[in-house]
Amino acid sequence: MADSAISAKTALNTIITRIEKARDRFGAPPEKVELVAVSKTFDADEVRPFMQEGQRVFGENRVQEAKEKWPLLRSEFSGVTLHLIGPLQTNKAREAVELFDVIETVDRDKLAGVLAQEMQRAGKRLPCFVQVNIGGEDQKAGISINETVDFVKRCREVHGLDIVGLMCIPPDGQPAGPYFAHLAMLARQCEVTNLSMGMSGDFETAIAMGATHVRVGSALFGHRPKAATADHLA
C-alpha cells in the first residue's frame, strides 16, 4: 500500500503540474482546468490512494461498475464529484441519476427526456454535457455537429436539463487540435462555457483550445487491458 500511495502521489502531481504548465504556456481562458481522473476498470483499492492524495473528481464509463465501487468510496471520503463519461442507455438512467453528480454523455432526445424525468423524480438537477460526435464517426456516440446547437436548445427548453458544456472524443490517429477547436466554436454558438475534451495523450492540446475539464486515466492509473479500452480511451 505504501508503494501504491507513493505512485499515486507522483502520478497525480505530474499531471497537475502538466495541466498548470499548459495553462501558463497557452494562456488558456479558463481560470481552472478540472482534472477528471478516469477510474473505470480500476477497483476501489486502486482508486483509494488517489483519494488519499486529495483527488475528488472521477469519471466512470459504466453505471454497473460505478454502483459496485463508489458507494464504498463515498462512505470513506467526502466531497466526491463523479462524472458519467460513457454511453448511457435509457434503462440505466434512474441508476445514473442516483449515482452520478455530472452526466457528460447526453446525445439524443429520448435520453434527454428520460434523464429529465428521473431527475424530477429524484428531486435533482444534475449538470449535463452534450456529447458531440466531433469526427462524424459511425462507431462513436454523440450528436452530429450540424444538430448540436438545436439539440442543446431542445435539452434546455423542451426537456429542462441544465446543459453546462460540450464533450467530445476526437478520432484516433489524427491530430486532435482541429477537433478541439471545432468543439470550442460550437460551445460559443451554444452559449455554454464548459468543454470536456482531452485525455492522457492530448490533454495539453485540449487546454490550448480552451478545455475546462480533461479526462485522464492511463497517465494516472496505468494502462488497462485492451478489452477495457474499447469505448472511451482516456
Task: Enter the C-alpha cell of residue 58.
Answer: 472521477
Count of domains forming the chain: 1
Is residue 228 domain-resident? Answer: no
Which stretches within 56-201 are classed as H helix?
A: 63-76, 93-99, 109-122, 148-157, 177-190
Is residue 57 domain-resident? Answer: yes
Is residue 234 domain-resident? Answer: no
What is the reported pTM? 0.93
Q: CA-to-CA distance for 66 and 39, rounded, in angstroms?
A: 9
Phi, psi of 39 (to 5 degrees): -100, 10
Q: What is the pLDDT of residue 148?
A: 98
Q: CA-to-CA distance for 30 and 177, rounded, in angstroms?
A: 17
Let me know: does 48 contact 73? Beta carbons within 8 Å. Answer: yes
Domain with 37 in it:
2-223
Is residue 148 domain-resident? Answer: yes
Q: What is the CATH number of the domain that holds 161?
A: 3.20.20.10
Is residue 167 domain-resident? Answer: yes
Nearest to 196 by CA among 176, 167, 169: 167
Is residue 233 domain-resident? Answer: no
Is residue 90 domain-resident? Answer: yes
Cα torsion through 22, 27, 28, 32, rounded to 10: 70
Q: What is the pLDDT of residue 229?
A: 44
Is residue 92 domain-resident? Answer: yes
Ordered per-residue pLDDT tens for the chain, 234 residues: 445 666 999 999 999 999 999 998 887 667 789 999 999 999 999 999 999 999 999 999 999 999 999 999 999 999 999 999 999 999 999 999 999 999 999 999 999 999 999 999 999 999 999 999 999 999 999 999 999 999 999 999 999 999 999 999 999 999 999 999 999 999 999 999 999 999 999 999 999 999 999 999 999 999 865 544 444 446
